[in-house]
Amino acid sequence: MPLTSTDDIVGPAHAGNHGVGAFNVVQIEHAEAIVAGAELAELPVILQISENTARYHGSLAPIGLASLALARAASVPVSVHLDHAETQELVHEAVELGFTSVMFDASKLPYEANVAATRVITEHCHRADVWVEAELGEVGGKDGAHAPGVRTDPDEARAFAASTAVDALAVAVGSSHAMLTRDAVLDFDLISRLRDSLGIPLVLHGSSGVGDTDLAKAVAAGMKKVNISTHLNKIFTRTVRDRLEASASVTDPRKYLGPARDTVATEVARLLGVLAGR
């Protein structure tokens, strides 16, 4: 199946009553696992590459081109998304490489500056038929808009979406990035009010900190694109650690990265089912 537009994956979820999973790629094994999990579940999926991951690899192209190749070879719809980009240059590179969507994160800026910067990105991406996600929040600490206590205001979100013409909006409703436990407390009433205020899909960041039951409730309340990274990284790392501890003499990375990849694929398939309401 050819590389799929992110809009063709998120759009039907927005029109219907289900969610879609967007999982972060750190290295090629992650991308392979995510695609394999989607094929196992027979559901579409979004591969996400963050600005931090691009920096880790030295540039966006190595991991980006590998992810695009895997998406094009998949038997289910797969899109490739740039996550949490903070510079125009990286967004432009993603568009040139063939990414199907970008998430431009100017949430650390004051509101008017966020609007202005995001509008420039949206205009550039839409000329290339690339879907755009943005984040609305406040100047804050490491977690930005997802710092504890920060919430997205529905009226401000509606004005932001109208001013920037973004295709989806990441909103702060109680989750936080890089959580190691799945006990985040989401504001489901706020999710519903944001859904009713906006005509575009809502995106839940920090979803690794949300348990299965609340993921399903968040989708029912209005979340459509659900980002998960740390949860899968924990599973990947735990499997690698277990394999190395069980075989102290192993030197072939395939002996521990392969099982980690398989474990993540199984979890991706399971999570996609949760988000799809199965």
Q: Is 83 tagged catalytic?
A: yes
- Which residue among the candidates 83, 105, 143, 214 is catalytic per the annotation? 83
Contacts of residue 251, Cβ cutoff 8 Å, sequence gap at least 6: none
Alpha carbon distance 92, 207 (integer Å): 27
Q: Which residues, including other chains, have CB under 8 Å from residue 200's CB and lie 6 or more apart?
A: 14, 161, 166, 167, 168, 169
CA distance 226 to 219: 8
Q: Tokens for 222, please give them.
A: 């209005």
* Dihedral sign computed on CA atoms, order 221, 213, 29, 26: positive
Q: Are 85 and 11 in contact (CB under 8 A)?
A: no
Residues recognised as catalytic: 83
